[in-house]
Amino acid sequence: MARNAARDMTVGSPFKLVISFTVPLLFGFLCQQLYSFVDTAIVGKYLGSAALAAVGSTASLNFLLLGFCMGICSGFAIPVAQAFGARDETELRRSVIHCAYLAGGISVLMAVVTSLLCRWMLVITQTPVDILDGAIDYILPIFVTIPVTVLYNMTSGIMRSMGDSKTPVYFIAVAAVLHVALDMLFILKLNLGVAGAAYATIISQLVSGVGCLVVMIRKFPVLRVQPGDLAFNPQIAMRLLGMGLPMGLQYSITAIGSVAMQTAINGLGTVAVAAMTAGGKLYSFFTCVIDSLATTMATFAGQNIGARKLKRVHEGLKASGIIGCIYCVLALAAMILFGKPLIGLFVDSSETQVIQLAYDYMVICTACFIPLLFVNILRFTIQGLGFTRVAMLAGVMELIARVGVALLLVPVFGFYGACWGNPAAWFFADFFLFPCYFHITKKLHYRMYPAGDNQ
């Protein structure tokens, strides 16, 4: 297969491949967090804690709905990675084309439904009345333009599945710079309030998505359409949906627990919501390394299982685990030493209660990052192996844990009870994922190497 700029992860040192693939991904995640940081910092500093709470109150709902779309994009990319690893060019092209068909249709449907139900969803999640209108101003434009979000996630996922983790980063870097400029323009100059932050996000995502699409078409000759490729094939569509829907549902199931937690936090008042929002933004920054390693393992596992090299999957997982554990220890040390100044980037220094609560939340979370690391790398590896439905069940474990914390701990311990929502979810998911991974790989081993051989 003519691979050009694509990277073959079925040969070479797994440790070096994991690092070289993860680093560009990390830079991309950091760029994404940069414009999320800018949103939060400008909103918190210039529009006040009430506006910050309005944006933050939509976070779990945003994750629930957009997470579903992003999950299906990640799932759709798995057959692409497997076809690439198996060197099946026809299957590769047709899988990419059907990714476009399905992702486009689903994202348009999601945009229509969520836009119509926007206010109702915010009300049932107990968004405080004093910030309800601000929350609608922020999240409604994002719901309307869900296809824009899907465009970037779909094109970047396809390129990563073919071993190119750099190109999406270039465009997300451009988008980050553009986002900062647009935030300044819309919020500080045009006084559009929290809606301005949403517009900046939408425009920057559109630029990165269109850029990735154009480059993907030009950069990978193997994707050039051949006669018969455009015909809709129900078998290919069902295979993609079989991978994508469980992953989308996994995101949504996980997010339902987050919605339950957000509802409980919303009931604690604006100060608690603002603290969790500020802490959540810092949390997203600190988990970029973990997210990058997990995304790497999805591609690594997908390509190698396509090439029937199961042993390399184990080696890649071991490499990502070692790298991740070292990072988790360093992250905790950094949070303890520098957490309060970093949180101060999002809220005015006079908001001492918000800063202290956000800091306490982040220390608890970072102290439990190693369980989070294994939740992510194990789940994405299992998904890359093609067992997306099994990986989805880990989301059920997270859901049970978060709902339990929301119902049992928050009413008793208030904000500090809510701080344990995420760690409890990670521990519960790990209890499921570790035995699940070993069972799946043992099953694959006997299926692929009946004579006892291995690669």
Residue 368 pLDDT: 94
What is the C-alpha to C-alpha distance for residues 419 and 263, in angstroms, rounded to an integer? 14
Q: What is the domain range of residue 396?
A: 14-448
DSSP string, 356-370: HHHHHHHHHHHTTHH
Residue 326 pLDDT: 96
Residue entry with tokens 């040390």: 333
Amino acid at 176: A
Query: Region 194-222: what's the mean pLDDT?
Result: 87
In a domain, 5, yes or no: no
In a domain, 419, yes or no: yes
Query: Region 373-384: what's the mean pLDDT?
Result: 91
Residue 264 confidence (pLDDT) above 50: yes
Residue 40 confidence (pLDDT) above 80: no
What is the C-alpha to C-alpha distance for residues 132 and 112, in angstroms, rounded to an integer? 21
Residue 59 confidence (pLDDT) above 90: no
Secondary structure of residue 455 in the 3-state scheme: coil
Tokens at 234, concatenated: 């129900």
In a domain, 455, yes or no: no
**How sure is the predictor about 133, in pLDDT bands with cuts at 50, 70 and 90?**
confident
Q: pTM above the 0.75 mark?
A: no
pLDDT tens, position by position, 144-203:
999 998 998 888 888 888 878 788 888 888 888 888 888 889 888 888 888 888 898 899
In a domain, 7, yes or no: no
What is the C-alpha to C-alpha distance for residues 329 and 324, in angstroms, rounded to an integer? 9
Query: Region 406-410: what's the mean pLDDT?
Result: 89
Q: Which helix (H) or strand (E) holds 267?
A: none
In a domain, 364, yes or no: yes
Cβ within 8 Å of residue 47, ≥6 positions away: 187, 193, 194
In a domain, 201, yes or no: yes
Query: Region 39-68: what's the mean pLDDT?
Result: 75
Q: How many CB atoms lie within 10 A of CB 29?
A: 22
Domain total of the chain: 1
Tokens at 162, concatenated: 């073919």
Cβ within 8 Å of residue 264, ≥6 positions away: 406, 407, 410, 411, 418
Maximum separation of any 2 CA atoms in the chain, in Å: 70
What is the C-alpha to C-alpha distance for residues 168 and 176, in angstroms, rounded to an integer? 12
In a domain, 4, yes or no: no
Query: In terms of Cα–Cα distance, which of 174, 172, 199 is closest to 184?
Result: 199
In a domain, 391, yes or no: yes
